[in-house]
Chain A
């Protein structure tokens, strides 16, 4: 047994951390936060040049072919830096959907474009309220033509293409859903930006009116593919959340050492020490669950569904917990726009919803544990 990243992977992490510290300072993040740009284009380009966008994409499709453990390592750093780029929608969702279900031509068209930073992709799944479920997919596909509205779509306003979940049957079963690949620059598509909890990662409403689309994967397989994509993304997002948790903890710790009140460092007050200790605990539990998820993801183990749900729950809670208490440690300063605390608070709470809410994943975890126990 060796339950840790390898030295090479750790080196990659250091490299990514250094790169992001330089190219993705809080100041750079603020350009997007303040609405001056929809995402950080320079950073996106730089990430492509470093090979980070295609790290888990096979070489034959223009990627580095390193693997998913490497992607986990980079995801953690993206979360730590709060990077304002469409990394999760493009790399975890769109690219993973293509890798799982794409035909050769589809892979050849889009994967190299993702790896090189030329194409931004996303997953168009949600349609208003509700969690991921076949019955909540209302957008229809008939004869390869889509009609309906997706909302919210992460990075929808800047994406070049989308993987779209559509209803192709009325049997009331999972097999009613199929996936389609849509070039968002095609006609019949209307995109509207939505304000959202975390402006560093945009959300959009996309309306499809008689839009021609090509199937992704077999008809009726959509839900099963989506489940796999969401599980994989759950692990990768968990690493972002772990990175964010660690950064929030670090910010809180540093402030506690700097700030003096009642003639003492506030970090010498036990209430503050214990709050930070609890942040460390939740971040550590999340990290350990995420490592297990990373192992399951990288080996395509049968444990992945359960591991992904546990990592998702643990990392969501940890990031929310660390981000909110980081503000508390900072006092009034923490509640100002000037300080960076709210960026992590926003990201933590937006990420908690992105792949389906906590209660959705709680449900998934229990179902999966029961299935395993029954087996």
Chain B
């Protein structure tokens, strides 16, 4: 058991550090360092432009999507090198949030199921941030129950014609491409009639409507499809095999290793170290210390859990469903941490935005946190995954499992 870099790792770290030192957009470092979940916007620049520029620079020098093969725009690095890079990239890594879905989910799915010529054409510009991708899975009728989706794809010559609606699609408003899960056969049970595609988001008939979120921001969208045509060669996997293809995507989503979800703890600890309460420094207060210590142990537990996963990965073991715990723990933790930070601020905690303490950092966290517990699988779905796939408990009873999709009831009440 050791944490030391091997000589190769140390060399990699030194090279990465030197390159980042010479090339990173330092003018944003402070702002990025202080940004946390809920607030990554830059004051005097468009974050997407800054993110794209940094990603392109990395790609040109061979530092983009480190673990991807070189021919698809990556570097062919080991999982450990990827972690070292993330450590060295530090706050600038915040900028890659704009590409998480593309790099973490769409790319790997393309790699597993697209034709070779498509991989070579589409993956490098995805890696370099020139093209942004989104994931079009969720629908009003299919969120947790992804396979309950209704967007139809019907074969017409060499094309498929898409009609329907997606929802909660992050980044669709600035995406160039998307991976799309559709229903191609409503007469078979729901998991069997799905097919996956990728498409150009500028295709005629695609309409993106931003949704205002509870946090006030608009990061996700409704996407409407009206007779959108997708050529058959943009199909990913077999007709009717979309469920399996989507599982690849979702597995990658859940084990986006190293992309550790924020817990809010470092921010809270730093805050308490300087905060004065009525009776003295917050960090001297018994109750505050107890809260902090418990969250500290959780945060370090998460950190070392992900390091164990990386170790396993570097020995060639596949990331498993046990990686679901990161988001599950961090999601509610950041919510609790933010709530507590505001509690410490007393009545003034109600003020948000620039006027607020720390420019409203914890208020922004509080308002964004509920989304973390829903996106990429709700807490309940994560617990189901752990219970069923890790502990081997029985699956939930699924009354619709063997019923043809078009015979499944669609309304809960009356």
- Asked if A and B bind, the verdict is yes
* Interface residues, chain A, with chain B CB atoms under 8 Å away: 1-6, 69, 249, 253, 256-257, 264-265, 267-268, 270, 272-274, 276-278, 280-281, 284-289, 291-292, 294-295, 298-299, 309-310, 313-314, 317, 359, 361-363, 365-366, 369-370, 373
Between B273, B298, B322, B384, the greatest number of chain A beta carbons within 10 A of the residue's beta carbon is seen for B298
Could you tell me the distance in whole angstroms from the C-beta of A70 to the nearest C-beta in chain B?
11
Identify which of A3, A276, A361 contacts B393 (C-beta below 8 A).
Answer: A276
Q: List 12 A-B contacts (CB under 8 A).
A: A1-B83, A1-B314, A5-B1, A268-B396, A270-B380, A273-B391, A281-B328, A288-B303, A292-B300, A299-B2, A313-B294, A366-B292
Establish whether residues B297 and A366, one from each chain, have CB atoms under 8 Å apart when the complex forms: no
Nearest opposing residue in chain A for B293, CB measure? A362
Establish whether residues B392 and A3, one from each chain, have CB atoms under 8 Å apart when the complex forms: no
Identify which of A267, A270, A281, A362 contacts B294 (C-beta below 8 A).
Answer: A362
* Chain A residues positioned under 8 Å from B303 (CB to CB): 288
**Known contacts A1-B9, A253-B391, A280-B391; A286 and B383 CB within 8 A of each other:** no
| Residue interface bits B1-26, CB-to-A below 8 A is 1, else 0 | 11111000100000000000000000
| Residue interface bits B283-327, CB-to-A below 8 A is 1, else 0 | 100100110111011101111110110111011000000100100
* Chain B residues positioned under 8 Å from A256 (CB to CB): 393
Task: Kindly state the separation between the CA atoms of A268 and B296 in the bound complex, as whole angstroms.
Answer: 34
Q: Label chain B's interface by main secondary structure.
A: helix
- B 335-383 contacts with A by CB, 8 A: 380, 382-383
* Chain B residues positioned under 8 Å from A309 (CB to CB): 293
Could you tell me the distance in whole angstroms from the C-beta of B137 to the nearest C-beta in chain A?
23
Establish whether residues B304 and A363, one from each chain, have CB atoms under 8 Å apart when the complex forms: no
Establish whether residues B384 and A273, one from each chain, have CB atoms under 8 Å apart when the complex forms: yes
Q: Label chain A's interface by main secondary structure.
A: helix
Could you tell me the distance in whole angstroms from the C-beta of A222 to the nearest C-beta in chain B?
26
* Interface residues, chain B, with chain A CB atoms under 8 Å away: 1-5, 9, 80, 83, 269, 273, 283, 286, 289-290, 292-294, 296-298, 300-305, 307-308, 310-312, 314-315, 322, 325, 328-329, 380, 382-384, 386-388, 390-397
Could you tell me the distance in whole angstroms from the C-beta of B207 to the nearest C-beta in chain A?
38
**Known contacts A253-B393, A270-B396, A314-B297; A3 and B269 CB within 8 A of each other:** no
Identify which of B83, B297, B386, B396 contacts A313 (C-beta below 8 A).
Answer: B297
Task: Kindly state the separation between the CA atoms of A292 and B269 in the bound complex, as whole angstroms.
Answer: 21
**Known contacts A267-B393, A310-B296; A288 and B387 CB within 8 A of each other:** no
Establish whether residues A274 and B311, one from each chain, have CB atoms under 8 Å apart when the complex forms: no
Task: For the complex of A and B, list the 7 residue pairs with the smallest distance between their C-beta atoms, beginning with the closest.
Answer: A285-B301, A362-B293, A288-B304, A273-B387, A277-B386, A277-B383, A268-B394
Task: Kindly state the separation between the CA atoms of A251 and B319 in the bound complex, as whole angstroms.
Answer: 26
Establish whether residues A366 and B304, one from each chain, have CB atoms under 8 Å apart when the complex forms: no
